[in-house]
Amino acid sequence: MRLKSVIVAATAAAALSAPAQAAHFQNGSFENGFAGWTVNEDQTFIVGQAYHRDENGDPDNCPGAPGAESPCPYMPTGGDFMGLLQANASNEAVLLSQTFTTGAGGATFRGDAAFLGEDYLPWNDSAFVRIYRVGGGEIATFADEPVVLFFSSIAMTGDWGATDWTHFSLRLGPGTYRVEAGVTDVNDDREPSMLLVDNFSLTPEPATWALLIGGFFGAGAVLRRRRARPAWD
């Protein structure tokens, strides 16, 4: 009976450590649409591919494949789908967000983003992915400020410019966080730029996994002791 209790305790420790932590972040590759996400505009889409367009409105070559004979699409970096946010004329970001919690050992947050600029200066459309710690405190080494994981704009890419997929990662301590992705169109109703996002994930840190592994080692030690007892004990 004691062994059974130890195994149950170890299993409970596992459920409360790394796997539970990972479950706090949902649908990072958009395979289930926007389930788990909050969107504030109707300019958000789930797509299987996307094209950057040049000043003539024609599909263009993406930065990762210069000189291609035909326009190359941006493809998902994880799974079959990705999120696409298209700017509007409000000068306010079209936002996609999710709030999640890390476990006692913290976690590393990762993802991919790309900016498809379809405007020209002085209309400096821009896009970002940023993360906040909910309730104050620190994110990594930044106090009371969002950490910008990805940022690009027309000023950075040039007129009708674009970026390739950009990977980012950030070590997070224990706590509750909010990740936001957004794209903004600057003061016109034409050439709306786009932000692509995909493959967001939350990976528990080794300290969290140690709780899981330690629990099962403890159960194994009890099992070995029971097997070593004399039959008359």
Which residue segments constitute the domains of the chain, with CATH numbers given?
A: 27-204 (2.60.120.260)
Are the C-beta atoms of 218 and 117 separated by less than 8 Å? no
Euclidean distance between CA atoms 224 and 106, whole angstroms: 33
DSSP of 60-85, one letter per residue?
Answer: ---TTSTT-SSPPPB--SSSS-EEEE
97-115: pLDDT as tens digits: 999 999 888 999 999 999 9
- Parallel/antiparallel/unpaired status of strands 126-133 and 94-102: unpaired
State yes or no: cis peptide before 122, omega within 30 of 0: yes
Identify any residues that bridge with 89 across adjacent strands, giving them in sequence order.
Answer: none
**What pLDDT sits at residue 110?**
97
Banded pLDDT at 54 (limits 50, 70, 90):
confident
- The set of residues, in sequence order, having a beta carbon less than 8 Å from that of 203 and lying 6+ positions away, is 22, 107, 108, 110
Task: List C-alpha distances in Å: 142 to 133, 152, 173.
Answer: 10, 21, 12
Half-sphere exposure of 111 (CA within 13 A, CB side): 28
**What pLDDT sits at residue 211?**
54
113-166: pLDDT as tens digits: 999 999 999 999 999 999 998 876 566 555 567 899 999 999 999 999 999 999
DSSP state of 57: S
Euclidean distance between CA atoms 174 and 105, whole angstroms: 6
